[in-house]
Structures are given as structure tokens and as C-alpha cells.
Amino acid sequence: MEFEIVMQELEALGKERMKKTYISNGAHEPLFGVATGAMKPLARKIKKNQPLAEQLYATGNYDAMYFAGIIADPMMMTEMDFERWMDGAYFYMLSDYVVAVTLSETDIAQEVADKWITSGEELRMSAGWSCYCWLLGNRPDSEFNPNKMASMLEQVKNTIHESPERTKSAMNNFIYTVGVSYLPLHEQAFEIAKAVGPVEVKRDNKKSSILLASENIKKELDKGRIGFKRKYVRC
């Protein structure tokens, strides 16, 4: 399907209300305001198409960039490609829900995420921690080194409250995901979540969010959902 046709179809799916929601979360023009669910029929027609994904991502249009993540072929992407995509990811919905998700379907996911976590850049760090959340929530526990995961939990415990805002949110999600989806460290993650306590995430022009991983892990524990894995990462 031609690039121009896809852009026209995305524009036709745009809604003013969604556009306002995305902008309130940090998106900026150009964007159409397409609900992610509304993209599915178009994605089914196209399937994976890396050259088209690259064209769409390069537009800087939020909806086109998001759609690029849905139709990307992660196994065709190199570390350089992911670095380039991160350079274009100007807010967390791109870094954590497009780039990190796409990276999580590759064989280089942990290696690249590790570099981003130590980068000192808010959105790269956020994407790195988020990538681990996508990985842990989908892949078998045997793919992860328990010592490394335990050391990452300790790192979160010691640094979360001083970290940049979006990174805090992703780190908090990491504790929760280890606690729910990674059985070997469920108990340790739960204890660390309690030790960390409430995490305040400040947001531009909005009230701060208070995140509490321990409460959310407890809810999943009560529902008997410990060990839960998603079948698919991308929608």
C-alpha cells in the first residue's frame, strides 16, 4: 500500500477528541488523533512492511509514527535503526509504546535496553525499563538471568525517587511487572515495592500522579494472576 494512501486513511480516522487527549499527554502537531483500535483493520491489510514503516516514522506525525510501530518488522531493524527511532521519539507514548515495544520483539532487546537504562537521558531510560516490562510480560522466565533482574530491582529501589519523571513511571512499572510476571523474583519485587512506597510523578500542567506498585501487585496476587504472560506484545 502506498505511503500517501496510508496517510490519507489515517487522517480520515482522526478524531478531534483523541487529538486533544494525545496533546494533553505530550504529543504535538502534526497529528490526526487516531484511536489505536481504529488502526487495526488497516494494519491487518498491510501486515509487516518495514520500508513503509520507515517512511511513516520519518514524518514526525504522531499517528503515523505509532502506526509505523504496528507494521514494523523488528527483525529487520538494527541497533542503529532503534537509536534513530529513539532520536525521533519526542515523548513517552513514542519511546515506551512504540520504540520499546518494537525493540522487545528482537533478539537484541536486552542489550539495547541495558544501554538506554544507563544513558542518563529521560526518555531513553524510560524506554529501556519499559522494554524490560514488555519482555517480562511476554517471554518465558528462563530467558532472563535472575541475578541480573534482582540487581535491576535493587537499582530501582535505590534510584527511583531521584530519577526523571517519565523514568520513574517506567521503573515503577518494572517493579510491578517483575512482581506479577516473573515468578523467580515475585516475592523480592513485592518487598521492594513496599520499601519504595508511593512514587510521585509530576506532569506538565496536570496534577501529579501517585504510583504504588505494591498495591497493584497485591491486586493481581488476590486475583491469582501471578505468572501472567501476554500472548502478543504489539496490538
Q: pLDDT in tens for each of the 235 residues of the chain? A: 699 999 999 999 999 999 999 999 999 999 999 999 999 999 999 999 999 999 999 999 999 999 999 999 999 999 999 999 999 999 999 999 999 999 999 999 999 999 999 999 999 999 999 999 999 999 999 999 999 999 999 999 999 999 999 999 999 999 999 999 999 999 999 999 999 999 999 988 789 999 999 999 999 999 999 999 998 887 5
The 8 Å CB, 24+ separation contacts for 202-205 are: 202/165, 203/165, 204/26
Reported pTM: 0.96
**CA-closest candidate to residue 124, choices 159, 170, 77:** 170
| DSSP reduced 3-state for 200 | strand
Phi (first) and psi of residue 91, to 5 degrees:
-150, 170
AA identity, residue 26? G
